[in-house]
Amino acid sequence: MKGFMDKDFLLETETARKLFHDYAENTPVLDYHCHINPREIAEDRQFENITQVWLGGDHYKWRFMRSCGVEEKYITGDASDYEKFCKWAECLGKAIGNPLFHWSHLELQRYFNYQGVLSSKTADEVWNLCNARLQEPSMSVRNLIRQSHVTLICTTDDPVDSLEWHKKIAEDDSFDVKVLPAWRPDKAMNIEKPDYLDYLDKLAAVVGRSEIVTFAQLKDALRERMAYFASMGCNVSDHALEYVMYCPATDDEIEEIFLKRLNHMTPTKEEELKFKTAFMLFAGKEYARLDWAMQLHYGCKRDNNSLMYEKLGPDTGYDCINNYAPSSQMADLLDALIRDDALPRTILYSLNPNDNQAIGSILGCFQDSTAVAKIQQGSAWWFNDHKTGMQDQMVSLANLGNLSGFVGMLTDSRSFLSYTRHEYFRRILCNLIGGWVENGEFPADMDILSEIVTDISYNNAKRYFKFPL
């Protein structure tokens, strides 16, 4: 029997162990998509206790605690940090088969040198150990990033954001990790949302307009903000979509839909899709002009528990997979951009694992010589961010596309301890490739294999996004 999460955790063959320990393990981390707060980096926050760094804002853990029947006061409520941690420890001790079990123990091993198992029995021991460790200067936010061998971070930022914290980080010579903004214009696109008109007022104020009353003016305002983001080093965009739609309309139709919304009328579903299609076509063309990469995250149905949404708001653990994602519309959107010679480098992420093959088949329709794997299938995302999901995504990509050109893992997290997810991914990657080699499906050529592994772990992302590293 293998030891619990030892140095060869998830590495089942000699080839897998060699690929990981000799090549992947010490490759730096490039985190091209996350949700951490740049202010906490700028201020070099020091956390008071493990609950703050582990449970604050982590809806993965919240969902599991609810599944264990934990009362909400111990999850998002007014229980003390100690009480919340003890409840989490009790739940984690029984989280067999859940990636949270592996993630949490990797974090305990790498950042706190704790080799045991967190459960209700060890809760006090781990609480005291972690809290004492967190008081050390080496455990400040910046030092957590440094010891994780991170070279670059892309945060997630709205067009109206001032990017003041990015500016302060960039001006601070004492911190050599690049922290760049990533453009996330969802609020400018989501015309159906109740607060859409309020958002237009905020955007207008940021660009010095009294108001935005046409779609043409909205596009002008967004172009102005894109230029500002670009001046701050941004070259990546990201969109959260229910699905990738393609419902074309004339310019006059879009202006009529926009005017209808300005008059406080809710657009029909067809009008909403026409507007969002026009928005995405505009955005894609601008990204191509700016030489930005475009990330499309889709397949999520959000805020399903309306009662809890009213109490806690969004991003609190009540989202699910959306089973409606027509691949034909995604292909049509990409085709509309390529016909105008305006298809940017694009990464497609679906929350629905059933879309793996559809994405893989679409990729091959739009590749060209301007980039290796110009159209990418993104890393297994959110509810697929586990051993099975990662394996399935990479096997599908290998079967239908170019796994060696894959840009690899991202944290997509709000926690500064989540960089161990890159290690988790790399172990799974090396085990997958090592298995193919040991089974005689690929030659045991370490020159080629080491290049593939280090490229997927780091180099491909560096080249693909054209980051200044």
- Distance of alpha carbon 403 from alpha carbon 408, whole angstroms: 9
Long-range contacts of residues 211-217, Cβ cutoff 8 Å, at least 24 apart: 213/259, 213/262, 214/255, 214/258, 214/259, 215/251, 215/254, 215/255, 215/258, 215/275, 215/278, 216/255
62-386-143 Cα angle (round to 5):
70
Neighbour-count burial of 276, counting CB atoms closer than 10 A to its CB (0-12 exposed, 13-18 middle, 19+ buried): buried
Q: What is the pLDDT of residue 49?
A: 97
Rounded CA gap, 261 and 269, in Å?
13
**Secondary structure (3-state) at 377:** strand
Contacts of 80 (CB under 8 A, 6+ apart): none
- pLDDT at 326 (0 to 100): 84
C-alpha closest to that of 413 among 17, 32, 36, 14:
36
Instruction: Establish how many alpha carbons lie within 13 A of residue 86's alpha carbon, considering only the half-sphere containing its beta carbon.
Output: 9
- Identify the three-state secondary structure at position 237: strand
143-157, 231-245, 316-330 — which is least confidently predicted? 316-330
Would you say residue 428 has pLDDT above 90? yes
Instruction: Inform me whether the pLDDT recorded for 333 exceeds 90.
Output: yes
Given a cut of 90, whether residue 56 has pLDDT beyond it is no
Q: Quickly state the pLDDT bin for 177 (edges 50, 70, 90).
A: very high
Structure confidence at residue 330 (pLDDT): 96
Q: What is the pLDDT of residues 439-461, one digit of tens each?
A: 999 999 999 999 999 999 999 99
The dihedrals phi and psi of 180, each to the nearest 5 degrees, come to: -110, 150
Most distant CA atoms of the chain, gap in Å: 69
Task: Band the pLDDT of 324: cuts 50, 70, 90.
Answer: confident
User: What's the confidence (pLDDT) of residue 42?
Assistant: 98
Q: Which amino acid is at 231?
A: S
Nearest-angstrom CA–CA distance, 159 and 140: 29
Contact, 177 vs 468, CB < 8 A?
Answer: no
- Say whether pTM exceeds 0.95: yes
Q: What is the pLDDT of residue 89?
A: 98
Mean pLDDT, rounded, for 177-191: 98
Please write the tens of the pLDDT for every residue from 198-223: 999 999 999 999 999 999 999 999 99
Residue with tokens 């230029």: 227
How much is the pLDDT for 28? Answer: 98
Q: From CA 193, how far away is CA 54, in angstroms rounded?
A: 31
DSSP strands (E only) in 212-369: 236-241, 293-298, 300-301, 320-321, 346-350
Q: Is the Cβ–Cβ distance between 468 and 233 less than 8 Å?
A: yes
Q: Kindly give, in sequence order, each residue whose CB lies less than 8 Å from that of residue 190, ignoring residues fewer than 6 positions away.
A: 196, 276
Name the amino acid, one letter, at 43: E
Angstrom distance (rounded) from CA 11 to CA 387 = 12
Neighbours of 442 (CB within 10 A): 16
* Residue range 230-255: mean pLDDT, rounded: 97
Residue 469 pLDDT grade (very low, low, confident, very high; cuts 50, 70, 90) = confident
Q: What is the pLDDT of residues 247-296, one digit of tens each?
A: 999 999 999 999 999 999 999 999 999 999 999 999 999 999 999 999 99
Q: What is the mean pLDDT of residues 85-102?
A: 97
Predicted local distance difference test score (pLDDT) of residue 220: 98
